[in-house]
Amino acid sequence: MAVVNAATEAEAVTSVTSGGLFLLEIGPVLAASVTEKIGRISAPRMASFYSQLADLLHGGVPLLRSLHILQEQSSQGNLKIVLEKICRRVEEGEMLSEAMQRFPTIFGEMAIQMIRAGIEGGFLEEALLHVAHFTETQGDLKSRVTGALAYPLMLAVFMTVTVIVILTYFLPKFEDFFVDLKEKGDLPLLTQILMGLSKSMQTIIPIVIPLLLIAVFMTYRWSKTEKGRRFFDHWKLRLPLVGKLLEGFAVARFCRVLGTLLKNGVPILRSLDISADATGNRIIGDTIHAASGSISEGQRLAVPLANSNAFPKTVVEMISVAEESNTLDTVLIGIADSLEKRNWRQLDLAVRFLEPMMLMALGGVVLILVIGIMTPIFKMSMMATS
């Protein structure tokens, strides 16, 4: 069996028969058979690679020589391996975009399509700089979200661990001291509740924790399936406060990817397919795919987006005006910048509000535990002195 790169079956037939071969059967090769799995590489490192490659090409260094230079200078193991294989493919006559397509975990579909458009349109250096900027922007976005949520999550974990340790380790040590108060009926209600909760947790935790870990693992596995992803993507958008924020970031990603692709000469239908996958949410992605079908039937992009109710009215209106003025690519990037700034303001406010609330909750829980433990001790000391 032979594998050839061709845009259509007719082109593949011509390629095979011109080489003196006799064609028995033709069909598409599954993507999995021509892709290679390599561990992920950080966004800043990939952005640096795209930028350096653009600089070398702009300086007049041939593509293959530029790739060899970057491969020799790379200190990142996975990137070095990938560039070595890409150099070999390019030497054998493959386009750079085709060689990159074999490593989907390293080079995203958007980057591949932009580089392909750059090669075909003669603006590869500019396309690489756009990819570098986009990759860096998305990496910054991810790191900022992670950093913003890290402190509240640490507080939540610390609060949970504190409560479990106090109830299961410290409180049982005081049980013998409270026997007299309990027999006399003077043990405070709060202390009785905490001691009952402590006994329950000592019995339940050895059973619950393994079950919880299994449930988390099974849920994680299910979330990687298509049905599971759709389920979680649907409920993410329905979460109070957080849902609108996630929707805003998804729409911003869509606008930035679509605008960048259109600016680099990628056809709009192909750009819509790529940008739909770049949203990170399958529910919004389905809306964009439906819009793609409407455009192929002659409608404007703003019409199906307005009917979907997934896009803010202001965004739809700006897209509609941009289509009429033929400035869709520029306007989309401007929309993405505006949405991201607004989303970051909302996220910063939410995190600033969440942090004191978490601290107050932690302090309240600890205060309740301390009162539940110290109140009977004070009663016992008063009884002993009287």
Give the domains, in start order, of the chain with CATH numbers. 1-34 (no CATH), 40-136 (1.20.81.30), 137-386 (1.20.81.30)
Is pLDDT at 290 greater than 50 in this prediction?
Answer: yes
- Name the burial class of residue 21, with classes exposed (0-12), middle (13-18) and buried (19+) by CB atoms within 10 angstroms of its CB: exposed
Quote the longest CA-to-CA distance of the chain.
Answer: 110
Q: Rounded distance, CA 294 to CA 274, Å?
A: 16
pLDDT at 8 over 50: no
Q: Which residue has the higher pLDDT, 127 or 332?
A: 332
pLDDT single digits (tens) 108-120: 777 887 788 778 7
The Cα 48–Cα 271 span in angstroms is 24
Q: Is 145 within 8 Å of 348 (Cβ atoms)?
A: no
> Minimum mean pLDDT among 1-5, 281-285, 321-325: which range?
1-5
3-state secondary structure of 332: helix
Distant-in-sequence, close-in-space partners of 322: CB < 8 Å, separation ≥ 6: 328, 330, 331, 332
Examine the pLDDT at 186 and tell me if it is beyond 70. Answer: yes
Q: What is the spatial distance between Cα 6 and Cα 98, in angstroms, rounded to a whole number?
A: 11
Per-residue pLDDT at 3 exceeds 80: no
pLDDT class for 6, splitting at 50, 70, 90? Answer: very low
Share of the chain above pLDDT 90, in %: 2
What pLDDT was estimated at residue 386? 59
176 vs 316: which has the higher pLDDT:
316
Q: Which two tokens stand for residue 46?
A: 């990939």
* pLDDT score of 77: 76
pLDDT tens digits, 53-90: 999 988 888 988 998 898 888 877 788 888 889 998 98
- DSSP alpha helix (H) spans, 166-188: 179-184
Assign 30 a pLDDT band (cuts: 50, 70, 90). very low
| pLDDT, average across residues 20-47 | 61
Which letter does DSSP use for residue 168 in this model?
I
Segment 175-183 shows an average pLDDT of 72
d(Cα 147, Cα 137) in Å, to the nearest integer? Answer: 15
38: closest CA among 92, 94, 88, 76? 76
Residue 100 has pLDDT above 70, yes or no: yes
* Residue of 221 and 277 predicted with greater confidence: 221
What pLDDT, on a 0 to 100 scale, did the predictor assign at position 31?
39
Q: 291 and 305 in contact (C-beta within 8 Å)?
A: yes
Angstrom distance (rounded) from CA 364 to CA 369: 9
- Residues of 338-366 as b/e, b for ≥16 C-beta within 10 angstroms? ebbeebbeebeebeeebeeebeeebeeee
Instruction: Show the tokens assigned to 362.
Output: 């932690």
* Range of lowest pLDDT (33-47, 152-166, 279-293, 363-377): 33-47
Residue 11 has pLDDT above 60, yes or no: no
Distance CA 167, CA 192 (A): 12
The tokens for 375 are: 């109140």
Q: Which of 17-21, 33-37, 162-166, 329-333 has the highest mean pLDDT?
A: 329-333
Least confident of 82-86, 94-98, 139-143, 215-219: 139-143
Please tell me the distance from the alpha carbon of residue 277 to that of residue 275, in angstroms, as a whole number: 5
Residue 105 has pLDDT above 70, yes or no: yes
pLDDT higher than 50, residue 216: yes
Q: Mean pLDDT across the chain, nearest whole number? A: 79
Residue 282 pLDDT > 60: yes
